[in-house]
Amino acid sequence: MTFSLRRRHFLLASGLASLHLPVRAATVRVVVLGGGWGGLSAAARLRRLLPQADIVLIDCHPDFVSFSGSNAWLLAPDASQPFVREYAALAGRYGYRFVRGSVRGIDRARQLVLLDQEEMSYDYLILGPGIREDFAAWGVVDREMEARFRQTCWASMDDAHALPSLKQRLARFEGGALVMNIPPLPYRCPPAPYERAVMLAAWIKARRLPARLIVIDPNPLMPLYRRPLLETFRDQVTYLDHAHVRQLDLTRNTVSTDVDEIAFDAALLSPPQQAAQLVWDAGLIRTNPQSGQADAWADVGALDFRSRLDERIWVIGDAVGMVSSLFGQYPKTGHLAASMGRIAAAQVAAAISGQHYERELPESVCHVQPDAAGASGVRIETRYRERGDGFLMQEVIQSRTEDYSQAWAEWLARLADDFL
């Protein structure tokens, strides 16, 4: 699976440094918040479509980092290393400006991005802020508890900065009950936690550890992983289907589901996911029409990623919510985010120029390893089309690849041609 270290943790850093290109004498400024797959794709295409506009990318980190093979890397010293690109270099190559800074919020009324040390005006705004994890859903309700959770139990599925710490925790594991959960849908990189479970099971078996992996899954088990988890590694894995983590006790080292209390010696836990805090603070969260409650994700159209709550803001990537009554949400993958960024850029350009926008459909491709043995993998392609009545249809195509590493490298090279 692909993990992006930079997928929108720009809210956490401090400092501000405007790099490279001078501000153009432009009548229009488009600001892109978040230098993940979607933000980088949007910034590069905006520059191509709007050569006279001031295109600004903001992120708190100096580099874009994507970590393919992170699950294997956790358990093996010679696994693949991260893919890194410097934001300043990308800005110079594609002709937009990069500002390194921490975003405090968005003043929609005044059309301002609020940074730590200054304010930046915008005419149009593209948000690629990613996700936050809902620790409170498990009773982790204050910063001290959250810090302890991150140090001892966190699966680091939304922030690859924490992967080295997780690797160290696993290296110290010598046996006992190792508990992990699959987050409730929707969540980022759907196959990733299943892939991790299989690799952990193989790791336990290879090291002959006196241990058992307990997998708590609230969702239907992905068919791709049914055989490895239920058959191949049945001596290493206890799989609990349709089970939800309801409470976490860090004093007693237990997790509670609806029917069980499970003690653990080590844990890799992923709380439910929601749109990033910035989306909440900006008032861009969708309200469920039936319940009247916030549904935790940004409110945008299925093919027009403009916010339904602010006509000058587009939201892309993992933060986007319901787009179809037929399949729910788009898969939260890097490729899909890049596709959305490209499309949002064209929509913004059309809004500025007044020219006709030729509708585009998003797409997604990801490469996974369904078993821990061999070099082969599976390519998962997701396609979309409009039904005659206007509803968006989703088609998922899976195919076997002989060499997982080569297939992923070729996929990345094709994507990199556009914005990396």
Q: What is the pLDDT of residue 79?
A: 64
Q: At which of 253, 271, 289 does a domain end?
A: 271
The backbone torsions φ and ψ at residue 73, rounded to the nearest 5 degrees and listed phi first, read -60, -35
Asked if the model's pLDDT at residue 371 lies above 90, the reply is no
Count of beta carbons in the 10 Å neighbourhood of residue 147:
11
Question: Which range is most confident: 157-171, 305-319, 356-370?
Answer: 305-319
Domain assignment present for 398: no
Tell me, what's the pLDDT at 78?
Answer: 66
Give the total number of structural domains in the chain: 2
Q: Is 34 contained in some domain?
A: yes
Shared domain for 239 and 291, answered yes or no, is: no
Given a cut of 50, is residue 20 above it in pLDDT?
A: no
**Whether the Cβ atoms of residue 185 and residue 219 lie closer than 8 Å to each other:** yes
CA dihedral 263, 267, 268, 273 (to 10 degrees): 50
Q: pTM of this prediction?
A: 0.90
Higher pLDDT, 291 or 213: 213
CATH number of the domain that residue 92 is part of: 3.50.50.60
The torsion angles phi and psi of 192, rounded to 5 degrees, stand at -55, -50
Q: What is the mean pLDDT of residues 278-300?
A: 93
Assigned domain for 392 exists: no
Closest-CA residue to 127 (of 245, 33, 44, 236): 33
Residue 225 lies in domain: 136-271
Q: What is the mean pLDDT of the chain?
A: 89
User: Which is nearest to 300 in space by CA: 283, 318, 278, 284?
Assistant: 284
Q: What pLDDT does residue 416 have?
A: 82
154 and 206 share a domain?
Answer: yes
Q: Does one domain contain both 120 and 217?
A: no
pLDDT score of 80: 67
pLDDT band at 55 (very low <50, low <70, confident <90, very high): very high
154 and 106 in one domain? no
The answer as to whether 231 is a domain residue is yes
Lowest mean pLDDT among 195-199, 259-263, 273-277, 409-413: 409-413
> What pLDDT does residue 378 have?
93
User: Is 409 a member of any domain?
Assistant: no
Q: Is residue 403 part of a domain?
A: no
CA gap 165, 76 in Å, rounded: 14
Q: Does one domain contain both 142 and 110?
A: no
93 pLDDT band, cuts 50/70/90, is very high
Q: How far apart are CA 265 and CA 177, in angstroms?
A: 5
Q: What is the pLDDT of residue 12?
A: 33
pLDDT of residue 15: 34
Looking at the fold, whether 64 and 169 belong to one and the same domain comes out as no
Asked if residues 307 and 314 have their Cβ atoms less than 8 Å apart, the reply is: yes
Contacts of 136 (CB under 8 A, 6+ apart): none
For residues 122 and 160, membership in a common domain is answered with no
Asked if pLDDT for residue 91 goes beyond 90, the answer is yes
Q: Are residues 169 and 118 in the same domain?
A: no
Predicted confidence (pLDDT) at residue 390 exceeds the cutoff of 90: no
The answer to which of 63-67, 78-82, 234-238 has the lowest mean pLDDT is 78-82
In this structure, the answer to whether residues 231 and 331 fall within a common structural domain is no
Cα atoms found within 13 Å of the Cα of residue 107, Cβ hemisphere only = 11
* Cβ neighbours, 10 Å, residue 230: 13
- Percent of the chain scored above 90 by pLDDT? 70
Boundary (domain end) residue, out of 209, 243, 271: 271
141 and 267 assigned to the same domain:
yes
Ranking 315-319, 379-383, 389-393 by mean pLDDT, the lowest is: 389-393
Domain presence at residue 385: no
Shared domain check, 264 and 240 = yes
**Residue 187: exposed, middle, or buried by beta-carbon count in 10 A (0-12, 13-18, 19+)?**
buried
Please calculate the CA angle 185-151-12 and round it to the nearest 5 degrees.
70
Q: What is the pLDDT of residues 111-149, one digit of tens each?
A: 999 999 899 999 999 999 999 999 999 999 899 999 999
- In-domain check, residue 250: yes
Q: Does position 69 have pLDDT exceeding 80, yes or no?
A: no
- Residues 266, 160, single domain; the answer is yes
Domain termination residue (choose one: 241, 271, 301): 271
